[in-house]
Amino acid sequence: MNCNQCPVSCGADREKSNGACGVKGIKIAKYYLHPFEEPPISFNKGSGCIFFCGCSLKCAFCQNYDLSRNLRGKEITERELAGVFKELEDMGAENINLVNPTHYLRHIRGAIEIYRPKIPIVYNTHGYETEEALRLADEFVDVWLTDLKFIDNALSKRYTARADYADYALPAVKFMAQKPLKMREDGKMLSGCIVRHLILPLAAYDSVNIVKFVASLPKTVYFSLMSQYTPFGDISGFKELNRRITKREYEKVLAAVEEYGFKNVFLQDFESASQDYIPNWDF
């Protein structure tokens, strides 16, 4: 069957060969209880993250480069993936957090047919999605946790393998923003949408436009502004990416957040940027 699960629509026969996302069957880098997602996601015991290998977007600055591009991980079957859901659940995970899942959507649906977790399912995506894939995922997703990386496609062209990120991501985020918000009394998110944005060096102007866009979404949407950019990945050709963001850049974006009066917002401590936040990918 030819794969058209993501906007790349490369048509690879994933039974036989790798797609443009770099993978054929299911390959995962790691799974564990992650304490550093947004508070209603990690909550008390941690989010049951499953890190999938490969990527259709291929950001130069990817903070998970070892698995997205170097494909460091191990191959598993749908049945074994279903077993990982169960294992994380038994470990006390607050939810199952599928990290960069879309190029495995067909496999994930197969695994869910084998075992449907009783805890919420979080779809943790870069946002470069087709509406068709989102509609299929919506059958099992409880929480959309999506990046919104750029609005300016000049940035998409410069830093990713795709020049049309915003053309797909903006409608995708609007779709995900429709998910009804359900918070448990103690603050755990059971259903909803969180839009994440990582501020990049020299791109605060685009971050401000993203803040404006997110402000136009339903008020049930949470906005998570991340200042943790750390030089990482294949950035040798991009001098500007060799530094963290400056306090001035951060404050410019923060001022926009204040101007639009967000209520549901997570702000990362400006001092928190560090490679310590990037997991060790050894199994």
Query: Which positions lie near ligand SF4, rule CB under 6 A?
Result: 3-6, 8-10, 12, 14, 19-21, 56, 103
Please say which residue, 165 or 250, places its beta carbon nearer to ligand SF4. Answer: 165
Please say which residue, 1 or 186, places its beta carbon nearer to ligand SF4. Answer: 1
DSSP 138: T
Question: CB of 106: closest distance to ligand SF4 in angstroms?
Answer: 9
Question: CB of 137: closest distance to ligand SF4 in angstroms?
Answer: 13
Q: Which residues contact 28 (CB under 8 A, 6 or more apart)?
A: 50, 51, 52, 53, 73, 74, 76, 81, 84
Question: CB of 206: closest distance to ligand SF4 in angstroms?
Answer: 25
Amino acid at 265: V
Find out whether 213 and 258 touch, Cβ atoms under 8 Å. Answer: no
Residue 193, beta-bridge partner list: 144
Please say which residue, 3 or 173, places its beta carbon nearer to ligand SF4. Answer: 3
Please say which residue, 56 or 63, places its beta carbon nearer to ligand SF4. Answer: 56
Please say which residue, 20 or 169, places its beta carbon nearer to ligand SF4. Answer: 20
In degrees and rounded to multiples of 5, residue 229 shows phi and psi of -50, 125
Question: CB of 54: closest distance to ligand SF4 in angstroms?
Answer: 7
Question: CB of 133: closest distance to ligand SF4 in angstroms?
Answer: 9
* CA separation for the pair 105, 18 (Å, rounded): 15
Residue 50, beta-bridge partner list: 31, 98
Determine the residue with CB nearest ligand SF4.
19
Q: Enter the tokens of residue 61.
A: 């600055």
Give the long-range contacts of residues 169-172, CB within 8 A, separation 24 or more: 169/127, 169/128, 169/129, 170/213, 171/131, 172/127, 172/128, 172/129, 172/130, 172/131, 172/134, 172/146
* CA separation for the pair 195, 143 (Å, rounded): 11
Please say which residue, 37 or 129, places its beta carbon nearer to ligand SF4. Answer: 129
* CA separation for the pair 108, 97 (Å, rounded): 12
Question: CB of 105: closest distance to ligand SF4 in angstroms?
Answer: 8
Question: CB of 103: closest distance to ligand SF4 in angstroms?
Answer: 4
Please say which residue, 22 or 279, places its beta carbon nearer to ligand SF4. Answer: 22
Max Cα-Cα span within the chain: 52
